[in-house]
Structure 1
Amino acid sequence: MTTSAIGATLEPAVVTRRRPLRAAVRKPGFWVPASVLVVVLLIAVFPAFFAGFFGHGDPRACDLGRSGAPAADGHPFGFDLQGCDVYANVVYGTRSSVAVALLTTVLAGVVAVVVGTVAGMLGGWVDAVLARLTDVFLGFPFLLGAVVVLNSVGERSVLTVSLVLALFGWPTMARLVRSSVRSVRNAEFVLAARTMGLSTWRITTRYVLPSSISPLLVLATITVGGVIVSESSLTYLGIGLESPAISWGLQLSAATSQFLRAPHMLVAPAAFLAVTVLSVIALGDTLRAALDPRRR
């Protein structure tokens, strides 16, 4: 069988996957949360622009005389306990929260793809060893494991928190990748590629992974929302990011004791957090419904 014949065998499956995706993009369930997330990403990339556009723009310009004061001209969300602008802190906090979420998901996804693909393609004792390794990490509760490790490290920066969260986040993804690879590795187009004598590397990267990566993309999308919540929870408990970093979790932690006196300190970062996470989950559900034939 020629290479073109293999491509012809693979093409119907690719077209079948693209059609529901194209249909999903046209639905409000996709473009509404996607539009919200695009704005959130723009805020994370250009915080100075957004902070200066609606307010005075400096999250570290504080005035104790305005501690807990409500909204004022140039300060739409009021002031926090130190007299810093809540709006500017929420905007700049977007970068840290989004950076942790994306970096954690990418790191966990890379490990999951490598481990899951190797286990799914090779099988045998390699699969058994990697499966036991995955089970070991799955045995640790996600947040509990992160708490233990983060309490043992020194500086808790965006990179440190991301590495720790990725350490306990890859096993679920790896299992999904392994399952998808095992379901594809004996497909007709893969067997045809083997008959032609193509290398395992080329078969895996060109035919197996493109046909089995869709479930991982859906899970990764939902994972971004889960990581944002996890980072905020850990930071709220005093185990995640620490000053001088700016994040939604740090704002929530500082605002809790002042909620009755100055509720705006808690409402603003909580609203940004909730809208972002809900948008991520809604986008993930839309993609999952589009790619899962049982839900169409």
Structure 2
Amino acid sequence: MTEQVESVVGSDPGAETGIERNASLWADAWRDLRRRPIAILSFVVILLVSSMAAVPGLWTRADPRDCDIRLSKVKPNAAHIFGTNELGCDYYAMTIHGARASIIVALFATALVVLVGGLVGMTAGFYGRWVDSLLSRVTDIFFALPFLLGALVFLSMLRTQSVWTVVLAFAALGWPTLARIVRASVLATKNMDYVQAARSLGASDRRLLLRHILPNAAAPAIVVATIALGGYVAAEATLSYLGIGLQPPTISWGIMIAQGEGWVTSGYPHLLLFPAAFLSVTVLAFILLGDALRDALDPKLR
């Protein structure tokens, strides 16, 4: 009997209309993105930086930890296109390898934020009543914690900092924003005609959430997650610059900026400019791609 009900729900015209509308939304968004040079350029930049993080050997064969003190603070030249740092390490190799820590932190922190925030938002929005009230109050409590200050306090209490402790700090403080956005999307979707039709035919809560509501809540979540990726790259660099995030011998753009800052006035600006430029371009690419996704997925903004 359950299988028959599920079969009827699956063939429900209202349900199919919702799926077709969702498919049309993504198809229209894809066509819109392909006509946006900024979106294409941002995607290419993100793809290039991701390849640096995943396979740095594609970009350089130099070992960033193979240093020669005799080459200390060499300025950019044919042998070392980004020069060397105070220990004689190839700065181009360090900059390429520095992408890995930032991208790993951003990816895993965003994944946890989407998982936790998505579950909390969907549960609160779908079930409502006391469930919504309880989860919303918990979300408000975490929202009251300043992001960077909270991360500073959390990481300062730990004896050692690593990629995974930074990821945990970001995820613990970053999920409330996405939870609120997903909750709002679920509230706007759960009373749609096709959802009510599926419910009247006996569809389970799980089917309603996964088949009918989640596809519509996914669009704003993807936009927020894309922009959050850039934010976490910048946040990791900020904490590493302050000495609370990643620590040497880990190579990251934030650590390189902190170490290179003191040499700018001594005539070695390349020690600051190269990692800062890579960091800024990467963060900007994520933000611009997120803005383009928002415009493409919202018909009112086209």
Provide TM-score, normalisation by structure 1: 0.95
Cα distance in 2, alignment partners of residues 129 and 158 from structure 1: 32
Match 2:42 to one of 33, 38, 41: 33
Tell me which residue corresponds to 2:99: 94
Deviations 1:104-126 (A, max 9, x none): 11111100011001101110111
Cα distance in 2, alignment partners of residues 280 and 2 from structure 1: 39
Q: Does 1:206 align with 2:215?
A: no
Q: Does 1:49 align with 2:58?
A: yes
Cα distance in 2, alignment partners of residues 93 and 24 from structure 1: 33
Q: Which amino acid aligns with 2:83?
A: G
Q: Which amino acid aligns with 1:24?
A: D
Tell me which residue corresponds to 2:4: none
Q: Does 1:265 align with 2:271?
A: yes
Identify unmatched segments of 5+ residues in structure 1.
none
Q: Which amino acid aligns with 2:169?
A: V
Tell me how far 1:72 sits from its aligned partner.
2.9
Tell me how far 1:294 sits from its aligned partner.
2.6
* RMSD over equivalenced CA pairs, Å: 1.2
Tell me which residue corresponds to 1:22: 30
Match 1:10 to one of 6, 18, 38: 18
Q: Which moved more, 1:163-172 or 1:14-23?
A: 14-23
Tell me which residue corresponds to 1:107: 112
Cα distance in 2, alignment partners of residues 120 and 88 from structure 1: 48
Structure 1 runs of 4+ with >4 Å offset: none
Match 2:190 to one of 175, 185, 188: 185
Q: Which amino acid aligns with 1:77?
A: F
Q: Does 1:235 align with 2:243?
A: no
Q: 1:11 and 1:206, CA in 2 relative to 1: closer, same or farther beyond 3 A?
A: closer
Cα distance in 2, alignment partners of residues 79 and 2 from structure 1: 65
Contact 1:77 1:87 in 2 (8 A): yes
Cα distance in 2, alignment partners of residues 203 and 140 from structure 1: 33
Tell me which residue corresponds to 2:3: none
Q: Which amino acid aligns with 1:66?
A: L
Instruction: Provide the secondary structure at the position in 2 that maps to 1:180.
Output: helix
Q: Which amino acid aligns with 1:38?
A: L
Tell me which residue corresponds to 1:294: 300
Instruction: Provide the secondary structure at the position in 1 that maps to 2:191.
Output: coil
Cα distance in 2, alignment partners of residues 247 and 235 from structure 1: 8
Tell me how far 1:292 sits from its aligned partner.
1.8
| Percentage of identical aligned residues | 42
Contact 1:24 1:30 in 2 (8 A): no
Deviations 1:127-174 (A, max 9, x none): 101001001011011000000000001221111101101111000000
Instruction: Provide the secondary structure at the position in 1 that maps to 2:262.
Output: helix
Cα distance in 1, alignment partners of residues 132 and 19 from structure 2: 29
Identify unmatched segments of 5+ residues in structure 2.
1-7
Aligned length in residues = 292
Cα distance in 1, alignment partners of residues 9 and 130 from structure 2: 33
